[in-house]
A and B are shown apart, each in its own frame.
Chain A
């Protein structure tokens, strides 16, 4: 989850009155933020991805002002107009159809403000923007632009000077030579034409979602900004713009709108009109287990920076435009809870009484564990995912596993096990320096492809055991298996000569019940012992618990 740094000195300027450092740190968790690190100068917090408005200290200060009763209710944003226009050509429709923009004037951009804004832009790209595919944001020096702007799709031979370069480059070169080109080129490459924002002189502001032009680069002296937001989802570009502009407003900028004109429509952005949503007080009280009246509800929402009014048991809330996380009335219920303060909740228990119960399969597995522990065996637990060579090559089995995961970060976790014995024997291999005799077992799930069924795979519980010492042999492991099966698992079973890797030929038996093979027992083959660097003989068995006849 994303992390941001809050400097106490900056926060002091953003809060409605003087608040002690301790009080700030004390309240931060109740905004839903996790404290990662704290020093005298700053505190680093992790915010949840549903609250991209918390990606700068401006957003967090808005929340703190509410919880600390310093500033309540929906913040208001004045948006002026000075006739700035973007005209959109229809050929972007299949490339990157949506664009909105905004202007901020008279900003003082100190180093930390620039850092916060760039971090916010990056967080929005990763979150709402889905790595720029859905939304990308460009920040520009307004004073270098001669409006109106034009947004269109251009051909592959279009060229301009990209940010950080001193020469004009064609699109394929930009995609290949620049870092953002290599990282995000995939998003536009397949479309055949490329989105481009130019000004009235034809100078390039941005090639979204890849890179800006060098022309409009920000410097510490930049005071007036133009912001473009492009993307593939109309709501998402509006959301990102609102979140960003709210922060720029709180940073001291005056906001001016931009007119976006299509063939068939004109849209003014940014739009800070609050969204009105309502919920029933009763619904809220029941869900929280509280009994709040309408004044309390309204004041709690105010502390969560939401204006509200009540009529006939219904609360109507004005949700600020930067709150993109409120999809359902239940989200407002949480805002009431946050305004109330989670620390102020006392706990209760549900009124109804229920009776607990165990699960039949777990009871059976517990019985198996008890029997094997009674036979002086130690339980081990191995992973469900392991490497293919252990499952096949080292066991002398033909073929390879069919249940493979895509892109594992480690080759030790590449396939789902279809039996327990390989990792159980590997456990013995990892314990050659421990005292013998070694008697171990494992109970766990194994996986196979389901033959044409609905869910693609089938999972069964198995139990496997192994005994290793200098004179371990078939008869000893068979006795152990006999005891286990006879302890209530099977009423009747027979052993029949069989072949099954990794057991040695001539020392392997299949165990049958009602003519179904339920498991194998034998002495592990010398090849497999050598593969696992085992220096003593090993007797082992494995039983498929799921095929045991139901009693």
Chain B
């Protein structure tokens, strides 16, 4: 433990204890105008520094018991007896006394005590005994002691001989006197404390640098009090971005560095862009309410350009002029007007390609997508999807594998595996997994493919379009070591505050 600079409270206590022995915190508080709690705290600090030692003194105190309290308030029973008799003219028959003395059970002891003190005598008049009092006696030591103890407890050591005798007398009466023990802390300086106190700076040390101090230039004459710079300081919390947002920013930066431009689009889409334009037939199971969120009672009045709607209808029916067989059914435009929460960001990219007919380019989008699923430790109802597309007259499947490998490599993932897969709107389609060094495991990430001609040709897109996409949260979980996907959006402030900013 460092003995470093002393806190002002320590300073005051140390000063106070110089030349004094056995000071209780209460006593110190009284004479230094510190609060008892401040004294106790300062004493604890100084004890750990070895400047102050404390010993505990056991004190025996006597206090009034319940009967004692009563007697102190109302007088001893014999006193009340004498008072009653003298109020009635100095004599009363024992029979009358029995009727008028407040508590009959106390009468006999009261008579006994009073007779022993010769405060009254008995005589036999007529039919029965009579009690006579000649004069009102002066208060006894017992009574003064009782009186005093009503407001203070007393320590046996401080009593005079006669008081001690009186105390003995009172103690024989049941319930008058109780004895309590309590501990008292006594503080005094250790030799180290004594020498430290001799080195204490003058009381004229400056507590703080203040504007008035600076104006008065008093700092030239008085030194600045040293403070304990090693003591802990209260916590303040950083402002910071959400970890998912941070990761999203990182992904965005990688896309841009690879020559991709960011596009934005609606989260709420007509089925037309989420399904139909992507050549997903209208009776496809993925379009079930089981998996997709439909907005109730809503329809888009116009989903796309008439020409595009007609071409999409044709491609579903018999392939139109795309060279495909189509799905062989009559496409229903009303089915395309229903409104869904997008199930993939491909709804946004395909709409972008339809609305901006371009020869070649690279774009990406990041956004929330929705699945009507039960929430579990690995599934959310809404999550982020990242999607990159590259298109041009000469792009190929190998280019797509190359672009995705480059993307992974920027995330620090250099081992990638590809294998065939299936998506309704791409052909060929692949799936990829990457190796996480830290966890020593392969994790399945992005799926990818080349948009089918049934998707691109009706929208007027002539060149092949490479597309890949995947969930973002999986990567965030691996980055922050989160096992339960729900934790990401619980927004627990303790967790958010604990996350590092400098990674």
Residues 300-328 of chain B, each 1 if its beta carbon lies under 8 Å from chain A, else 0? 11110000000000000001001111101
For chain B residues 139-153, which have a beta carbon within 8 Å of chain A? none
Q: A348 and B399: CB pair below 8 A?
A: yes
Q: Which of B266, B422, B452, B488 is within 8 Å of A51, CB to CB? A: B422
Minimal beta-carbon separation of B311 from chain A (angstroms): 15
Residues on B with C-beta less than 8 A from A434 are: 492-494, 497
Q: A369 and B427: CB pair below 8 A?
A: no
Closest to A347 in B: B402
Q: Give the complex CA separation of A287 and B399 in angstroms.
A: 10
Q: Give the complex CA separation of A445 and B367 in angstroms.
A: 11
Chain A binder among B93-101, B173-181, B241-249: B241-249
Residues on B with C-beta less than 8 A from A126 are: 285
Residues on B with C-beta less than 8 A from A361 are: 264
Residues on A with C-beta less than 8 A from B373 are: 409
Tell me if A384 counts as interface (CB < 8 A to partner B). Answer: yes
Minimal beta-carbon separation of B355 from chain A (angstroms): 13
Q: B454 and A327: CB pair below 8 A?
A: yes
Q: A380 and B398: CB pair below 8 A?
A: no
For chain A residues 433-466, which have a beta carbon within 8 Å of chain B? 434-435, 438-440, 445, 447, 449, 452-457, 459
Q: A457 and B339: CB pair below 8 A?
A: yes
Q: B325 and A359: CB pair below 8 A?
A: no
Q: Give the complex CA separation of A127 and B401 in angstroms.
A: 30
Q: Give the complex CA separation of A428 and B412 in angstroms.
A: 36
Closest to A370 in B: B241
Q: Give the complex CA separation of A377 and B420 in angstroms.
A: 46
Q: Which of B302, B370, B381 has the most chain A CB atoms closer than 10 A to its own CB?
A: B381
Minimal beta-carbon separation of A15 from chain B (angstroms): 20
Q: A431 and B302: CB pair below 8 A?
A: no
Q: Give the complex CA separation of A248 and B361 in angstroms.
A: 49
Tell me if A45 counts as interface (CB < 8 A to partner B). Answer: no
Residues on B with C-beta less than 8 A from A403 are: 295, 298
Closest to B246 in A: A379
Q: Give the complex CA separation of A87 and B491 in angstroms.
A: 67
Q: A408 and B293: CB pair below 8 A?
A: yes
Q: A328 and B497: CB pair below 8 A?
A: no
Q: Which of B382, B399, B405, B497 is within 8 Å of A384, CB to CB? A: B382
For chain B residues 253-291, which have a beta carbon within 8 Å of chain A? 255-264, 266-268, 270, 283, 285, 289-290
Q: B401 and A358: CB pair below 8 A?
A: no
Q: A381 and B491: CB pair below 8 A?
A: yes
Q: A328 and B454: CB pair below 8 A?
A: yes
Q: A349 and B496: CB pair below 8 A?
A: no
Q: A378 and B240: CB pair below 8 A?
A: yes
Q: Which of A345, A359, A379 is within 8 Å of B262, CB to CB? A: A359
Q: A354 and B270: CB pair below 8 A?
A: no
Residues on A with C-beta less than 8 A from B9 are: none
Q: Give the complex CA separation of A354 and B360 in angstroms.
A: 9
Chain B binder among A29-37, A189-197, A252-260, A521-529: A29-37
Q: B238 and A376: CB pair below 8 A?
A: yes
Of all A-B residue pairs in the complex, the 5 with the closest CB atoms, nearest first, are: A289-B396, A356-B256, A289-B398, A48-B422, A347-B402
Knowing that A347-B401, A374-B239, A455-B300 are A-B contacts, what are 4 other residue pairs whose CB atoms are under 8 Å apart, sorted by A's residue number?
A: A342-B418, A353-B259, A410-B381, A456-B299
Identify 11 residue pairs between A and B in the complex whose beta-carbon atoms are under 8 Å apart, listed by A's number: A328-B324, A328-B325, A333-B427, A334-B420, A356-B261, A376-B238, A385-B381, A431-B491, A431-B494, A434-B494, A439-B239
